[in-house]
Amino acid sequence: MKHKRIVRTICSLLLVGLVVWVWSRWNVWFGNPTESSYISSPIPSRILLTFSDSIGENRNVSWQCDSVLLPSHLEFQDMEGTIIQSIPAKGEICESPGGKSAFYVARLRGLQPGHQYRYRVCTHERYSEWYQFTIHPHRNATEFLFVGDIQDTIAGIANQLLKQAFMRHPHMEFLVCGGDLIERPLDCYWDEMFKTLDSIAQVMPILTVTGNHDYWKGVICQLDPRFWLVNSFYQDSRVGDNQLFSFEYDNIQFFCLDSNREFWYLWQQREWLKHQLEASDAKWKILVLHHPLYSIKGSMNNLIQRWMFDDLVQEYGVDLVLQGHEHAYARMRMDGKTTPVYTVSHCSPKNYRIEFDDRFDRFGSGSRYYQKVRTHNDTLFLTAYDATSGMLYDSLQIQKKGHQTIVVDLAQSIPEIITFIPDVNNRKDRQFAERIQTYKDRKGIK
């Protein structure tokens, strides 16, 4: 009798604990902010150039205009010719809690490597300005920038940081983003994202994967439709309800996953990734996903994503894994010496308290970062930069010699910088400060 009473008391306490825990986490798991009412601009705006399908030269252009569907098209011209071609645009209305907007996409085909083009978009005889872009020639050499989460605050400085990055590296061919370009799926943050990408997204393809902040929270999370209306290649490439995309650019094949989903969807993505990797004969294979397969926030984080994808990444020779979500910089070589090379990066004003897993080669915290990836024949150069100062923060090379792949760490003399000002009244801050000190002692960092 007494034994039963003890068991009942323990069960009751556990149940109360569970209820309190769910209650305290309710907003984190299920809370969505209210979207203020908005009116979509009557002039074509929020224009974004991106990739299109598996063919690296094809492009899509998306834009937003008004709140009803109107005749729309894109005009473009090869800079070497005089003929202006017109492409009809496909429109779709998106209604969100704060308002309604019409989105359009025009698909450009038959573009030629080595040619420059200019284009403008038009809805109901209202034109955008002209923009110019280049289809780079095939030369077994590619250069692009990667940024992890941006999630800028309203009127943030991300646009300034990105523009400075492209001024420092003027030969970049496109920008890859690791998800969470927006803080929440609200019109004001979509507006902020376009301010972040202003003068970049119109002239250089943007390739992004989904982040958890692109989703409306719930028992089953729902992707904000504006994500795929803007990042229009997903309209043709998605598999079921999974935002997946793969394409070959020069000698690189990219594989973009949607790591934010529930188990069943990740399983479908695994099947897709396996098929894509099996069929790929690209020299360089780069995986882009939001959740790091090796978390830097805790050893139990993102285990489902790792179980689903990491064995394929290793078995099929993925060279580089570009990831975001955990708001710090980190880089890891498999077994400390070879590929895949896993990186985590962010360019957000928010920095998270990380763990210092000793499988990683180096970390960075307290700043914002971007990475440059350059391939040239048999070598891939990966460099990371502090986005605020522009200083080199990481450097390595992946070299392919026959069947051998060698990773050369060139960052031995680049100091690791981990800055954090703890709130002494915050227990988690104090613990993070201790972890930093332990890590610095272990690595001999001053």
Cβ proximity to Fe ion: between 211 and 364 the closer is: 211
Q: Does residue 396 contact residue 409 with C-beta atoms inside 8 Å?
A: yes
To Fe ion, the closest distance from the beta carbon of 351 in angstroms equals: 13
Cβ proximity to Fe ion: between 212 and 379 the closer is: 212
Cβ proximity to Fe ion: between 104 and 190 the closer is: 190
Ramachandran sector of residue 377 (left: φ over 0; alpha: ψ -120 to 50; beta: rest): left
To Fe ion, the closest distance from the beta carbon of 177 in angstroms equals: 12
Q: What is the token pair recorded at 146?
A: 């990667």
Cβ proximity to Fe ion: between 77 and 212 the closer is: 212
Q: Using CB under 5 A, list all residues that contact Fe ion.
A: 180, 211-212, 325
- Tell me the C-alpha distance between 438 and 436, whole Å: 5
- What sign does the dihedral 234-237-238-244 (CA atoms) show? negative
Cβ proximity to Fe ion: between 192 and 416 the closer is: 192
- Tell me the C-alpha distance between 314 and 324, whole Å: 20
Q: What is the token pair recorded at 165?
A: 């990055």
Which residue's CB atom is positioned nearest to Fe ion? 325
To Fe ion, the closest distance from the beta carbon of 271 in angstroms equals: 24
To Fe ion, the closest distance from the beta carbon of 363 in angstroms equals: 18
To Fe ion, the closest distance from the beta carbon of 8 in angstroms equals: 41
Tokens 């290793």, residue located: 314
Cβ proximity to Fe ion: between 152 and 180 the closer is: 180
What contacts 24+ positions apart, CB below 8 Å, involve 68-72? Answer: 68/93, 68/102, 69/93, 69/102, 70/102, 70/123, 70/124, 71/123, 71/124, 72/44, 72/104, 72/106, 72/121, 72/122, 72/123, 72/124
Q: How far is CA 228 from the centre of its chain?
A: 14
Q: What is the token pair recorded at 282?
A: 């690209």
- Tell me the C-alpha distance between 444 and 446, whole Å: 6
Amino acid 245 reads: F
To Fe ion, the closest distance from the beta carbon of 324 in angstroms equals: 6
- Tell me the C-alpha distance between 329 and 344, whole Å: 5
State the angle between helix axes of 158-168 and 187-196 in degrees (0 to 180), rounded to the nearest 10.
Answer: 20
To Fe ion, the closest distance from the beta carbon of 446 in angstroms equals: 32
To Fe ion, the closest distance from the beta carbon of 369 in angstroms equals: 15
Cβ proximity to Fe ion: between 134 and 212 the closer is: 212
Cβ proximity to Fe ion: between 184 and 362 the closer is: 184
